[in-house]
Structure 1
């Protein structure tokens, strides 16, 4: 997992619950990494899962809810840091159609050892999009939060229905998105 995700998770926890709470969470985490997480660095997925697990236990919230909230929080910050990928879009649908074919291609070029999820789509009508998410990490709740954050970012309401999930044995997590405009 890339360091930027760890940095955003730290910001999410600090902004929501404070620096002291974040330090308390980190103190109780069994991490493989002993130094600070650096944006372009690559770190074990197990470190992210340990931080999320410890955070949810400490705060008394379930993991899917926490990951959705984190994804929603992270999206505008990712858009600000990587403006080049969003500035030409006026609608979440056009942006989402570029995630795998453009954004994740660039991520792989820029960051050695990056393993972004695979995302592909079907475009059944102007107001709908079917997204398929596949990742060995199975972070579909985080992806849901990123979808919600994308809708917020473009100020376009969307409804999403998950029609398949890797956690239930499906080959991908599938989402039917319906846009209000």
Structure 2
């Protein structure tokens, strides 16, 4: 019952074809109207809501207080209070995941709020420039996919941050 040893020269040569790249046959290209709708829901709506909340905070609250909470902090607070309604309108997934959306939003909002406490121009660099570039970069490719509510919360908090800054500055200048 000895084992037979096979020499490599005795082996049969098999030519296997290279693996082909699989392309999903059922994938449909994303139309421009779908991209535009997603851009309105996930980029423009948080930006405009942030502008509105930042302007509102600048007009109503800032004359009564000196420095903190600033309009960006105020926008985060208002947005978080309204997050279940905003989640239903913008994300539109089942409502039992609204907490996940709010958690994603508040997680980045806390980090950005810390940036807005930094002295002098440090808050502008971290809170506006870096966040703005990151938000635009993420928005350029995240529009193509569906995500869990947590990621939408992160994405929307960046938009609210940029919008609140822009809205509060414009309100300060013109009102």
TM-score range, shorter chain: 0.3 to 0.5
Higher helix share: 2
Greater RCO (CA < 8 Å, at least 6 residues apart): 2
TM-score calculated relative to the size of structure 1: 0.33
- TM-score scaled by length of structure 2: 0.34
> By percentage of residues, which structure has more strand?
1
Which one has the largest radius of gyration?
2
